[in-house]
Structure 1
C-alpha cells in the first residue's frame, strides 16, 4: 500500500545530521564481558559529550552489539588532563566536569606540530569506584579504556594546519591492544599496528554545503585521507554507500553497508501504556496519542521551519511538541515558531518546545505521540524514524536521502520541500484513526527488518573483511 503523499516535483539533494536531542539510546556497562574473543576499540569522541549525539548513540549501540558477538570492547578517550601515576585519577579524567586549562600558545603550537609523529595512549581499567554521568548515557559497555592527552583536539588542529593525520600507539603495558580499531566518525586519526575501520555516516557538508558550517575544503581533504588510509569503510545506508563510492572514488569492495539497529531498554519498552499515559499527563499535560512530536537538534537539515509552517497551515488542533537543542544555523529554522510563541496568541497554545529531556522521558514522549514528524532534508540513516516505528508510533517522514530505505511503506512520505504536502499528511494523521493504527502496525514490521540479529550479521561480514 502506497503511503506517500502527493510530492510534486522531485526533492533537491539534502543533508544528514547525527545530533540527537536527548540522551543516546543504549545501556550502561554493568554486565560482564568476554575477554577471550577478539578485542574491538572505538573512539569516545562523541560518547564523551555531556549531551547525546546521534554518533554517540551509534557508538554505544555498536559496543552493545559486538559484545553480543563475543568481542571484548574498549573505548579510547582524549582527556585534557595528562597521565597520572594514580590509576584512579586517570579514570576520573575520562568523565571530569572540570574545565581544562588552556595550553599556552607555544605549547599548543608544539603540540599541533608534533601530533603528526604520533601520540601514545595509556590503558585505563575501571575501578568500580567512579560514578559515570547517567544523563550522558552512563559508562559505555566496555571492559577497559584508553586515554591520550587532548587526542581529538590536537588531531583536529594538526589536520587543519598541516593536513596530516595523527597516529595512535597503544601502550600495551597494563592493557590489551585492540585487534581492530573502529572510528565511529570522520576523524584525522589512525591506530598503528591494527586494522582501521571508519564509519562515514553521510557526506552532507559536500551534498548540502549550505546546511553546515564545516570548512568544506578541509572536510573533503579529511574524507579523501580516510578513503586512502582505511582498511575498510562502514556506512549506515545504501544512499551513503553510493555517495562514498561516487564522490570519494572508493572501490565498491571497500565499502560495507551495515545499517543500524535500535537498542531500547526493556525497562522502558515494557512499561504499560497506561503508566506512560499517566506520566505524560502529569509532566506535560499531554494526552495519549494526542500530540505530534518532532525531536532532534535544531539545524537546517532537520527542516523544522517547514514543519512548523506546515503544522500551522494545516489547521490541526493536535498539539505539536518540539524537543531539540540549538545546533548551528538554527535562526531561520526557529524564526516562525519563536514569533508565534512570543505573540502568545491562539497558535502559541498549540506548540510546546523543550530544549533537552532525559532519554527515558523522550522514550515516553515517542510512545505516546500520535505521530513522529521527521521530514528531514537528507539523512545518512534516520534513527528517529526507526526508533519511533519500533515503539509503535506512526511516522511522517520525507523522500530525502536514506529515509525511504528506513521507512519503507510504513510511513507517510513527502517531499521535504513541499509544505502543502506536509499539511495534508498532518491532517490525515489527525483525522484518520484507521490510517494511524495501520501505520503503527506496519512500522513495527518495518522496524523488525533492522533487528539486532541482522545488525550482528552485517558487522560480522564487515570485520571478516579486515581479518577480525
Structure 2
C-alpha cells in the first residue's frame, strides 16, 4: 500500500473527460477546486464541491477537484486529484508507520490528533501548495473550499488567481460548542480542537477574494474576521432539482419525521429535536424519527436518547447514497431542521425540493432558504418544534400546501446552474484583476 507521504508527490487522478461546449459569453476556464475532506456524507462542504463542480462542467468549463480523504463523489467529467493525508479520524493514531515520519506534514497531522487538535486544514494546505507550485499554472483559477490555511495564502502570494469560499465562520461552531460543554475540561478540549480558527482568521484577513453562500454568512464572516461586508462576494448555493425531486410513486409513511444532522454537534440542534420527540410521543405513539447521522455510542445525543427512553422510535442511517437520501425525503411526512446555526442550510433546501413539508429553526441563514414556505420556529426551542410538527401532522391540507410551496421556492430561487454562472463571472473578474 502506498503511504500518504509517497502519494503526496504523485497524486492519483481519474481519467480526463472532454468538457461540454460553453454556450454563454464567458470563455471556457480551467478551474481547480480544493477540499480538504469532501465526501457528501461528511457535511455541506462535500455537497458544495460535488454540485458546483458538476454545474461548472455543464457550463462548459474544465474542472479538476483536489481533495483529501474522505474523497468526493463527482460527475464523471470532473477530474479528481487525490491528495491523501493520514486520515486519522478513520484510521486512528495507531496507523502511524515509520515511512510517515519522512514527511514533516504527516508528523504535524499525527501530533495534532494526538494532542486533540484538528490539523487537517493546515496539512492539506501544505500538500496542495507543494503540488500547485508545480502544476498550478495550468489553471485559470484556483477555488479553495474553506481550507483557509497558510498554504492557500502562499498560492495567492505566488500569483495564482485564487477565490476562497467561506460557508460560515467556524467561530460560530466554537461559541455554540462551548455553551453546550458540561465542564472546564470539555471546554479546554473544545478550544484545543478549534485552535485552527486562529490560522483561518489570520489567512482570511489577507485573502483578496472571499465568496460566501448567504447574506447572514456574509455579515457573520465580516464580524468574525474583521472584513468589510462589501468585500465579500455572495453566491447562493443551489439545489439540484433534477435529483432532489418529488417521486409520486413513493408513498409517505404516516407519522414519519426525518432530520439530516451531524448527530453530536451542538451546532445542529439535535438535542432540541430529541426533546420535541419525547414530548410528541405520548400524543403520537406511532411517531418515528429517521435520523441521517449516527450518534456516537458514548456521545451526548445517545445519552439523551437513552435518558428520554425514545430509542425504539428512532432509526439511524449514515453513509447513504444520494438516491437513498432522496427516497427517505419522499417517505417523510415532515422534515425537521433544528440547527442553532447554518451558513446556508442544504438539508432544508433538499427536503423542500423533494416536496416534503419542513419545520425549520431560524438559525443562521435558514430563513433566507426557507422563506415563508416552511414552518419556522425559534432556535433552541424544543416545545416550538413539537408544536410545529404536531400542527403539520394534524393538518394535511396545510402540510400539502407547504410541500408545493417549498418545491416552487427552491425551483425559483436556488439553482446550481445560476450559482455556476455567477461564480464564473466572479472568476473572470479575479483573473482580470490578477493580470493587470
Provide TM-score, normalisation by structure 1.
Answer: 0.69
Give the match for residue 415 of structure 1. 378
Give the match for residue 341 of structure 2. 378
Displacement after TM superposition at 1:193 (Å): 3.1
Give the match for residue 433 of structure 1. 396
Give the match for residue 454 of structure 1. 418
Displacement after TM superposition at 1:340 (Å): 4.9
Q: Does 1:335 align with 2:310?
A: no
2 CA distance for matches of 1:64 and 1:204? 26
Question: For each residue in 1:268-289, what CA deviation from the matched residue of structure 2 results, as whole angstroms up to 9, or x when unmatched?
Answer: 747x522x34xxxxxxxxx535
Map 1:61-100 to 2 at 5 A.
61-77=51-67
- The gaps in structure 2 that reach 5 residues or longer are 1-13, 22-26, 71-79, 109-117, 179-189
Native 8 Å contact 1:65 1:456 kept in 2:
yes
Relative distance call for 1:110 and 1:426 in structure 2 (3 A) is closer
Question: For each residue in 1:349-399, what CA deviation from the matched residue of structure 2 results, as whole angstroms up to 9, or x when unmatched?
Answer: 433233443321111000121111112100101100000011101100111
Q: Which has the higher helix share?
A: 2
Relative distance call for 1:39 and 1:416 in structure 2 (3 A) is same
Displacement after TM superposition at 1:467 (Å): 2.5
1 CA distance for matches of 2:385 and 2:35? 38
| Match of residue 31, structure 2, among 40, 49, 56 | 40
Displacement after TM superposition at 1:407 (Å): 0.7
2 CA distance for matches of 1:311 and 1:79? 35
Give the match for residue 179 of structure 1. 140
1 CA distance for matches of 2:314 and 2:349? 24
Native 8 Å contact 1:196 1:232 kept in 2:
yes
| Match of residue 324, structure 1, among 282, 293, 297 | 293
Displacement after TM superposition at 1:178 (Å): 0.9
Counterpart of 1:401 in 2: which secondary structure? coil
Give the match for residue 107 of structure 1. 102
Provide TM-score, normalisation by structure 2.
Answer: 0.73
Question: For each residue in 1:60-85, what CA deviation from the matched residue of structure 2 results, as whole angstroms up to 9, or x when unmatched?
Answer: 111112123322111224589xxxxx
Q: Does 1:193 align with 2:159?
A: yes
2 CA distance for matches of 1:204 and 1:187? 11
Relative distance call for 1:154 and 1:404 in structure 2 (3 A) is closer
Displacement after TM superposition at 1:294 (Å): 0.9
Q: Does 1:273 align with 2:248?
A: yes
| Match of residue 247, structure 1, among 221, 224, 235 | 224
Relative distance call for 1:403 and 1:32 in structure 2 (3 A) is same
Runs (4+) of structure 1 exceeding 6 A deviation are 28-31, 90-100, 110-113, 152-155
How many residues align? The count is 370
- The gaps in structure 1 that reach 5 residues or longer are 1-27, 81-89, 114-151, 278-286, 342-346
Relative distance call for 1:398 and 1:464 in structure 2 (3 A) is same
